[in-house]
């Protein structure tokens, strides 16, 4: 499970939406019977000069991790426009580590997904990194 945000803007991106989005790390809706929130990781990727670039990605709660704010500051300081992706992770399978924290970059592509990709990879490790 996760929460995803995609922004496409010709003007510099306003970080207010990224700062508001991270509230879902604590309050985001989840499947019935699970604790609310998406606090198992976060990542922000922007396309700069046609290539995806990590602005920040950690297996931590975006709401309490000051590195999330620092990634938002990069958006503002560099006046980033164009394509930006942000994801908050709620772990279903796989370990809580940076390699399992989307968005994931491979070459000139960036991808995010919601939930578990079935019949792929080792469920104890990750389903995401096996897609690479």
Residue 95: the pLDDT is: 76
Residue 54: the pLDDT is: 97
Residue-range domain boundaries for the chain? 2-117
Residue 49: the pLDDT is: 94
Residue 44: the pLDDT is: 98
Question: Between 65 and 33, whose confidence is greater?
Answer: 65
CB 52 within 8 A of CB 46: yes
Residue 132: the pLDDT is: 47
Predicted TM-score (pTM) of this structure: 0.88
Question: Secondary structure of the chain: what % helix, strand, coil (to 5)?
Answer: 20, 30, 50
Which of the four pLDDT bands, split at 50, 70 and 90, describes residue 127? low
Residue in 36, 18, 17 with CA at minimum distance from that of residue 27:
36
- Residue 96 is given by DSSP the state S
Bridging pattern class, strands 109-111 and 104-106: antiparallel
Q: Using CB atoms within 10 A of its CB, is residue 107 exposed (0-12), middle (13-18) or buried (19+)?
A: exposed
Winning range, highest mean pLDDT, from 9-13, 21-25, 86-90: 9-13
Average pLDDT, the chain: 86
Q: Select from 3.60.20.10, 3.30.360.10, 3.90.550.10, 3.40.50.300 the CATH code of 2-117.
A: 3.60.20.10
Count CA atoms closer than 13 A to 111's CA, side-chain side.
13
């Amino acid at each position: 499970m996760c929460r995803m945000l995609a922004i496409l803007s010709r003007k510099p991106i306003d970080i207010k939406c990224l700062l508001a989005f991270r509230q879902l790390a604590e309050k985001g809706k989840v499947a019935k019977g699970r604790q609310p929130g998406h606090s198992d990781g976060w990542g922000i990727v922007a396309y700069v000069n046609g290539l995806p670039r990590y602005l920040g990605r950690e297996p931590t709660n975006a709401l309490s991790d000051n590195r999330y704010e620092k990634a938002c500051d990069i958006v503002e300081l560099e006046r980033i426009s164009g394509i930006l992706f942000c994801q908050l992770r709620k772990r279903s399978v796989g370990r809580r580590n940076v390699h399992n924290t989307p968005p994931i970059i491979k070459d000139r592509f960036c991808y995010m997904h919601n939930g578990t990709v079935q019949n792929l990879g080792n469920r104890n490790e990750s389903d995401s990194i096996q897609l690479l």
